[in-house]
């Protein structure tokens, strides 16, 4: 683990407690009462998961993982944070939902976890923490059984090129779209899920990635792309000027512009 990843790990270990808290948008109490954390697009595009095995990469403390389990999937969640895995395991026991959670750095997962899965799944905000998208694609493809599915639901990297500072009122390019030789460094006081929180481990390192890089890496890893969809709506208020529509998603006002804020990729492994 390099210094960038160690710094990110300290940040994510601390965020577990923040995100479990009452002020967090994760709404753990609502989840315990039966609320699903899954978004309509992923429910629609993955379809019925009952009876299928599902591997969730970068699962944080497991709310999405357990939401899939409630739909009948046999789930395994993986994260590099021990604090997250401990919290996920405890939460699964509390809601009496069968699940397996494994602590592992993503690139090391083939040395830690055995077997293949009907579905390998990753979602919102995961890819930007990874320094090597081609290697991620090979790890993900390794765990897809022949005939199985890889599904990615993510924030669109083009959207992350724009300024998201408080008070921003228009689309102004601030960040690079294409990867460079190293990560981008950020220092934030709170969390995306609780802006009022204060964290000690403020520094993080993110890695720009491209749509073309994701798709090309999955193809190179032996998967067949079934679809690439891009969406104007975002599941959280990524910019101060976004407007929430009746579907619960946040959109750029037409008077400002029209850009993609999320995307999904569905791929399959030949050979069933």
Mean pLDDT for the stretch of residues 238-258: 93
Residue 168: which domain range? 3-268
CATH of the domain at 260: 3.40.50.150
Mean pLDDT for the stretch of residues 211-223: 98
> What is the predicted pLDDT for the residue at 23?
84
Mean pLDDT for the stretch of residues 7-13: 96
Is the pLDDT reported for residue 3 higher than 90?
A: yes
Mind listing the pLDDT tens digit for each residue in 16-33? 999 999 788 999 999 999
Is the pLDDT reported for residue 86 higher than 90?
A: yes
Least confident of 41-55, 106-120, 177-191, 208-222: 177-191
**Mean pLDDT for all residues in the chain:** 95
> What is the predicted pLDDT for the residue at 272?
65
In sequence order, what are the residues at sequence separation of 6 or more whose Cβ sits closer than 8 angstroms to the Cβ of residue 92?
62, 66, 69, 98, 99, 101
> What is the predicted pLDDT for the residue at 180?
85
**DSSP character for 159?**
G
> What is the predicted pLDDT for the residue at 80?
97
What confidence category does residue 257 fall into, taking pLDDT thresholds of 50, 70 and 90? confident
**DSSP character for 162?**
B
pTM for this entry: 0.96
> What is the predicted pLDDT for the residue at 48?
97
Q: How many domains does the chain have?
A: 1
Number of CB atoms found within 10 A of residue 115's CB: 9
**Residue closest to 56 by CA, chosen among 88, 30, 28, 34:** 88
CA distance 222 to 141: 7
Number of CB atoms found within 10 A of residue 89's CB: 18
**Residue closest to 119 by CA, chosen among 54, 48, 57, 64:** 54
Tokens of 62: 């497991």
CA distance 53 to 72: 9
């Amino acid at each position: 683990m390099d210094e960038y990843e160690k710094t990110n790990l300290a940040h994510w270990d601390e965020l577990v407690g923040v995100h479990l808290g009452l002020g967090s948008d994760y709404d753990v109490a609502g989840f315990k009462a039966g609320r699903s954390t899954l978004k309509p697009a992923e429910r629609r595009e993955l379809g019925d998961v009952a009876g299928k095995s599902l591997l969730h990469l970068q699962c944080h403390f497991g709310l999405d993982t357990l939401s899939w389990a409630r739909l009948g999937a046999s789930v395994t969640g993986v994260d590099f944070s021990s604090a997250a895995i401990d919290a996920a395991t405890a939460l699964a026991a509390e809601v009496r939902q069968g699940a397996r959670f494994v602590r592992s750095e993503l690139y090391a997962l083939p040395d830690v976890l055995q077997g293949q899965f009907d579905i390998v799944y990753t979602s919102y905000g995961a890819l930007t923490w990874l320094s090597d998208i081609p290697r991620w694609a090979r790890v993900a493809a390794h765990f897809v059984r022949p005939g199985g599915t890889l599904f990615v639901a993510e924030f669109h990297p083009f959207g992350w090129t724009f300024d998201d500072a408080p008070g921003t009122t228009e689309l102004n390019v601030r960040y690079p779209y294409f990867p460079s030789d190293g990560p981008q460094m950020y220092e934030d006081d709170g969390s995306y899920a609780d802006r009022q929180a204060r964290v000690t481990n403020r520094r993080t390192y993110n890695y720009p990635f491209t749509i073309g890089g994701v798709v090309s890496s999955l193809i190179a890893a032996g998967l067949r792309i079934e679809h690439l969809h891009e969406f104007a709506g975002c599941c959280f208020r990524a910019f101060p000027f976004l407007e929430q529509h009746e579907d619960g998603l946040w959109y750029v006002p037409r008077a400002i512009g029209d850009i993609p804020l999320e995307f999904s990729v569905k791929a399959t492994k030949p050979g069933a």
